[in-house]
Amino acid sequence: MKRREITIARQAQIDIENISQYTFEKWGSAQVDKYISKLSETIIAIAKEPEIGKQFNQFRFQIMNSHLIFYFFNSEKVVVARVVHKRSNWQAILETL
Protein backbone atom coordinates (compact mmCIF):
# COMPACT_ATOMS: atom_id res chain seq x y z
CA MET A 1 0.00 0.00 0.00
CA LYS A 2 1.47 3.32 -1.12
CA ARG A 3 1.72 6.10 1.44
CA ARG A 4 0.74 9.42 -0.05
CA GLU A 5 2.70 12.60 0.57
CA ILE A 6 1.36 14.53 3.57
CA THR A 7 0.72 18.27 3.50
CA ILE A 8 -0.40 20.08 6.63
CA ALA A 9 -2.34 23.23 5.68
CA ARG A 10 -1.36 26.43 7.48
CA GLN A 11 -4.59 26.51 9.50
CA ALA A 12 -4.07 22.89 10.58
CA GLN A 13 -0.54 23.83 11.69
CA ILE A 14 -2.06 26.60 13.82
CA ASP A 15 -4.61 24.13 15.20
CA ILE A 16 -1.82 21.74 16.20
CA GLU A 17 0.18 24.55 17.81
CA ASN A 18 -2.91 25.58 19.81
CA ILE A 19 -3.56 21.97 20.87
CA SER A 20 0.07 21.67 21.98
CA GLN A 21 -0.09 24.90 23.97
CA TYR A 22 -3.36 23.97 25.69
CA THR A 23 -2.12 20.47 26.48
CA PHE A 24 1.14 21.84 27.88
CA GLU A 25 -0.67 24.33 30.11
CA LYS A 26 -3.17 21.72 31.34
CA TRP A 27 -1.05 18.54 31.61
CA GLY A 28 2.62 19.35 30.93
CA SER A 29 5.25 18.56 28.31
CA ALA A 30 5.18 14.77 28.64
CA GLN A 31 1.50 14.72 27.69
CA VAL A 32 2.17 17.08 24.75
CA ASP A 33 4.75 14.61 23.45
CA LYS A 34 2.32 11.68 23.78
CA TYR A 35 -0.59 13.50 22.17
CA ILE A 36 1.38 14.93 19.25
CA SER A 37 2.97 11.52 18.67
CA LYS A 38 -0.48 9.91 18.53
CA LEU A 39 -1.67 12.68 16.19
CA SER A 40 1.32 12.07 13.90
CA GLU A 41 0.68 8.32 13.89
CA THR A 42 -2.95 8.92 12.95
CA ILE A 43 -2.01 11.26 10.09
CA ILE A 44 0.49 8.68 8.77
CA ALA A 45 -2.24 6.01 8.93
CA ILE A 46 -4.52 8.35 6.95
CA ALA A 47 -1.79 8.84 4.34
CA LYS A 48 -1.50 5.07 3.95
CA GLU A 49 -5.24 4.48 3.71
CA PRO A 50 -7.17 7.76 3.29
CA GLU A 51 -10.47 5.99 2.69
CA ILE A 52 -10.61 5.07 6.40
CA GLY A 53 -12.08 8.46 7.27
CA LYS A 54 -15.76 9.25 7.21
CA GLN A 55 -17.01 11.53 4.44
CA PHE A 56 -18.32 15.03 5.22
CA ASN A 57 -18.94 17.26 2.21
CA GLN A 58 -15.64 17.57 0.31
CA PHE A 59 -13.65 16.38 3.32
CA ARG A 60 -13.02 13.17 5.14
CA PHE A 61 -12.35 13.06 8.85
CA GLN A 62 -10.77 10.72 11.31
CA ILE A 63 -11.40 10.86 15.04
CA MET A 64 -8.30 10.92 17.25
CA ASN A 65 -9.07 11.10 20.95
CA SER A 66 -10.80 14.48 21.46
CA HIS A 67 -10.03 15.82 18.00
CA LEU A 68 -11.26 15.46 14.45
CA ILE A 69 -8.69 15.49 11.67
CA PHE A 70 -10.27 16.87 8.48
CA TYR A 71 -8.50 16.15 5.22
CA PHE A 72 -8.86 15.56 1.51
CA PHE A 73 -6.72 13.50 -0.81
CA ASN A 74 -5.87 12.48 -4.33
CA SER A 75 -3.68 9.73 -5.72
CA GLU A 76 -0.48 11.58 -4.77
CA LYS A 77 -1.11 13.36 -1.48
CA VAL A 78 -3.22 13.88 1.62
CA VAL A 79 -3.87 17.45 2.75
CA VAL A 80 -4.76 17.90 6.41
CA ALA A 81 -7.03 20.94 6.37
CA ARG A 82 -7.99 21.30 10.05
CA VAL A 83 -7.59 19.58 13.41
CA VAL A 84 -10.49 20.63 15.65
CA HIS A 85 -11.93 19.57 18.98
CA LYS A 86 -14.90 17.26 18.60
CA ARG A 87 -17.03 19.56 20.80
CA SER A 88 -16.33 22.61 18.64
CA ASN A 89 -18.76 23.85 16.03
CA TRP A 90 -16.71 22.08 13.39
CA GLN A 91 -19.38 22.37 10.70
CA ALA A 92 -19.14 26.17 10.90
CA ILE A 93 -15.34 25.99 10.99
CA LEU A 94 -15.29 23.94 7.78
CA GLU A 95 -17.58 26.40 6.01
CA THR A 96 -14.76 28.96 6.22
CA LEU A 97 -12.44 26.79 4.13
Q: Domain ranges in the chain?
A: 5-95
Average of per-residue pLDDT across 30-35: 95
Q: How high is the mean pLDDT of the chain?
A: 93
Going by DSSP bridges, is the β-strand pair 77-85/5-8 parallel, antiparallel, or unpaired? parallel
pLDDT tens for each residue of 63-88: 999 999 999 999 999 999 999 999 98
Q: Which of the four pLDDT bands, split at 50, 70 and 90, describes residue 1?
A: low
Pick 5-95's CATH classification: 3.30.2310.20, 1.10.630.10, 1.10.3720.10, 3.20.20.70: 3.30.2310.20
> Which of 35-73 are b and which e, b meaning 16 or more Cβ less than 10 Å from the residue's Cβ?
beeebeebbeebbeebeebeeeeebbbbebeebbbbbbb
* Residues 70, 12: Cα–Cα separation, whole Å: 9
